[in-house]
Amino acid sequence: MTRITTWFPLWALLGALFAYLFPEALVGLKPAILPLLGLVMFGMGVTLTLSQFAAVLRRPGLVGLGLALQFGVMPLAAWSIGMAMGLPPELLAGLILVGTAPGGTASNVVCYLAKGDVALSITLTTASTLAAVMLTPALTWLYLGERVPVPALEMLISIAQVVLAPVALGLLLNQWLGARIGPVKAVFPLISVAAIVLIIAIIVALNAGNLAHVGIAVVIAVVLHNGIGLAAGYWSARLLGRDETTARTLAIEVGMQNSGLAVALAVKFFGPAAALPGAVFSIWHNLSGAALASWWARRAT
């Protein structure tokens, strides 16, 4: 089972390739994305304890660091890359929307597979989503001069349904049954890998038409943006004396954005072309996250 999960990046890449070549086989599975994420979050919950969340809350400075990196580095990096590459206004707007978005729920899955601090990851995702209610519109206006309202209530309900409720259920089950659910805990890494590979494939299938028209400049911009976020999260933590597990967690949280929100806002306020950076980011950050998770997991064993 460990060997299967170690090859996570390969399965993700093969799944993405299959979805690109045969999108019609997967587009109908779009409604399964949220239940699959919920299943993975439940699996995380059974590995967590209340004391782990309490330990995170006793370190508010660490949560503050994560938020500062999330909303400081990523929007600035998006604007800098877009300006340096001379991206057209719509593509620049789309890239900046990715940068101003909060952390995505996929980061929690990748953090779990990378043997990071899952309690910290979930706390940061929730905190950045709450902060995005104010910061995403403010930062979008700062960098683009456009006021973009954020669907705050919808985002919070989604986080509660997809992340908080399944994790809480798994956590309570772990508190009540403990070692008696050992076999369940053992199989969930494999289930998580299968679920996230399927999610990546569905996302690729849904964006297959757009991907055929994406220019190399958008791909390069997205890869650079994601890479800067991952590096900034990791090395900021290490330079401040944080441990390896915390550094991995911050790297994943800063580098992996809620690209789905960015796509929705881009289409609504800037047009279809502005959605391309978010669509590419939604695929790329899962693939890069899968590769990092596999590498870090091997180093941890």
pLDDT, tens only, 225-269: 999 999 999 999 999 999 999 999 999 999 998 887 787 788 778
Residue 280 lies in a domain: yes
| 198 vs 85, higher pLDDT | 85
Residue 3 lies in a domain: no
The lowest-confidence range among 39-43, 82-86, 91-95 is: 39-43
Q: How far is CA 107 from the centre of its chain?
A: 4
Hunting for tokens 């910061």 — which residue is that?
A: 135
Q: What angle do CA 181, 106, 117 make, to 5 degrees?
A: 60
Task: Inform me whether the pLDDT recorded for 96 exceeds 90.
Answer: yes
Alpha-carbon distance 163 to 169, whole Å?
10
- Domain extent at residue 37: 9-14+31-175+188-295
Residue 23 lies in a domain: no
Q: Any idea of the CA torsion for 28, 30, 36, 38, to the nearest 10 degrees? A: -140
Alpha-carbon distance 286 to 115, whole Å?
16
CATH number of 245's domain: 1.20.1530.20
Provide the pLDDT for residue 1: 46
The lowest-confidence range among 32-46, 79-93, 219-233 is: 32-46
Alpha-carbon distance 112 to 277, whole Å?
26
Residue 220 lies in a domain: yes
CA nearest to 44, candidates 155, 168, 177, 197: 168
Provide the pLDDT for residue 4: 54
Residue 20 lies in a domain: no
**How would DSSP label each residue in 191-215?**
HHHHHHHHHHHHHHHHTHHHHTT--
Q: How far is CA 97 from the centre of its chain?
A: 15
Residue 25 lies in a domain: no
Residue 78 lies in a domain: yes
Q: Give the three-class secondary structure for 51.
A: helix
Q: How much is the average pLDDT of 138-145? A: 88
What's the domain count of the chain? 1
Residue 22 lies in a domain: no
Task: Round the average pLDDT of the chain to a whole number and report it.
Answer: 83
Q: Give the three-class secondary structure for 103.
A: strand
